Every structure is written in structure tokens, then in C-alpha cells.
Amino acid sequence: MAKKLVVESARDDEEATLMCKDIASLGFKDPIDFYESAQSYAGRFSDNAHMGEQCVPDLLRARVSMQQGQQIKDIVVRLVGGMSLSDEAIEPIKPSLRVAAPVDEDAEGVVKPKVVESKPGEKIVCEVMLMHLLNRFEELDPTHFREARCGLKITWKGVFVYCELEIHFCDILLVGNQTDPKQHYNFFRRRLAGTVPESALDPHRVLPLEIPRIAIDCD
């Protein structure tokens, strides 16, 4: 599914090949991180001590890296609308093989990608539903790199799984891979410990920066 989204957002075959090389399966979440994440949900369920574990959205994760910011927006908008795919539509279509057709442009003249969905009457074998969206391009936390995180429910022939897809901008991801963001985050927490309320040490609210925000418009 990640490959389909990446290839069909590419501008040409060369770019599609480049971005496909950056697709990564991040495997299962670290057991300790998984347990800590589950504790944040545990208080919601007094009748079942294990419901918290079932609410962790990113136990299974994947990552893609895009060459343009517009491509990130296009993928998010596509996921917001949901995807229903037949066997014929599962395979990604390279830019060079797309059927020539008039392209659509948004109000700012940006060309929208041509995507391949199922045709009326075809049997649907795969459905993708967006469960939640975390837009870290808009949040201004200096201890996290800009990215979009999409919680997805993917159903394949009646069997479904929940997972999280990280959508990165290539240059930002490169910086992240060359540094240690977790070390920086822990540094800020140690410096602020005891000087501000514990709630202010939340990973999404450490030292907010006053800089322009980037919004993902899903209308």
C-alpha cells in the first residue's frame, strides 16, 4: 500500500524509483515504548486491564519519504478520502504508464496527481481507512522533526490490521537520520525538570516556537 501511494504521487519514473527505495517497514514498536504508550489509555477502561494495549495505534509502523511537500499533502488528502481497491487496482501505476487525460489543478494552479482507483462493478479486495492524523508540520515542538503520521485500518479480503504510516519530507528525514532526536528531547526534559509543571514536559509541548505553521488542508 505504501508503494502504491508513493509511486502514484511521483512526477516521473525516476522519482518513483528513488522514493520507493526510501520506503521502510519499521517493524513492531519497542516493547517498553509499547507498554508506556498503553498506560496513557489504561485509565479509560476500569473493567479491562488490557484494553490500553489494544488502543496503541503505532504497534506496526511504516515510513515513506517524499521529494516535495505537495506530495505529502496529496497522500494525506487521498487517505482522508479513503481507498477501496480491486485486484486490478492494487498494483501501482508508474507515471510513464498512466493513461493520458486532462489534469486537475487546485485553486493555486498546483497539478493534482492522477491516482488509480477501482472501477464501478469491480470486486473490492482492499480498503484503507484513516483513523487519525497527527500533523507535525503544524505543531511547533522543537524536539520533534516535521512529519505527518496517519493511523490506518487496512482491510484485505476481510482481514484487517491497524498500523501507522509516517510521511516525511526527504531533506528533514535526512537531518533526523544524521542526528539523535531522542537525545535532544531528553536534554530539554532534564533542563526543565523541577522548573515547570510535569504536564509542560509532555513531548508535544516542550518549548513551543513562534514561527509560521504549515497546514495540511484536507478539504
Interval 40-87: pLDDT, tens: 776 676 666 666 667 777 778 899 999 998 999 999 999 999 999 988
Handedness of CA 70, 71, 74, 79 (dihedral sign): negative
> Which residue range(s) make up the domain with 55?
2-201
pTM exceeding 0.85: no
- Go through 169-197 and write b for each residue having 16 or more CB atoms within 10 A of its CB, e for each that does not: beebbeeeeeeeeeeebeebeeeeeeeee
Burial (CB < 10 A; 0-12, 13-18, 19+), residue 213, is exposed
Does residue 10 lie in a domain region? yes
- pLDDT string in tens for the chain (219-residue length): 899 999 999 999 999 999 999 999 887 877 777 777 777 776 676 666 666 667 777 778 899 999 998 999 999 999 999 999 988 888 898 888 876 544 555 555 554 555 556 667 788 999 999 988 988 887 666 656 788 999 999 999 888 888 899 999 988 888 766 666 667 667 776 777 777 666 665 544 444 433 334 455 554
The per-residue pLDDT for range 21-33, each reduced to its tens digit, is 999 988 787 777 7
Total structural domains within the chain: 1
Inside any domain, residue 68: yes
Residue 212 lies in a domain: no
**Within a domain: 139:** yes
Whether residue 218 is contained in a domain is answered as no
CB 1 within 8 A of CB 155: no
pLDDT of residue 65: 93
Q: Is 137 within a domain?
A: yes
Compute the half-sphere exposure of residue 149: CA atoms within 13 Å on the CB side of its CA. 13
Does a structural domain hold residue 215? no
Is 141 contained in some domain?
A: yes
Measured CA to CA, the distance from residue 198 to residue 202 in angstroms comes to 7
Q: What does the pLDDT read at residue 101?
A: 47
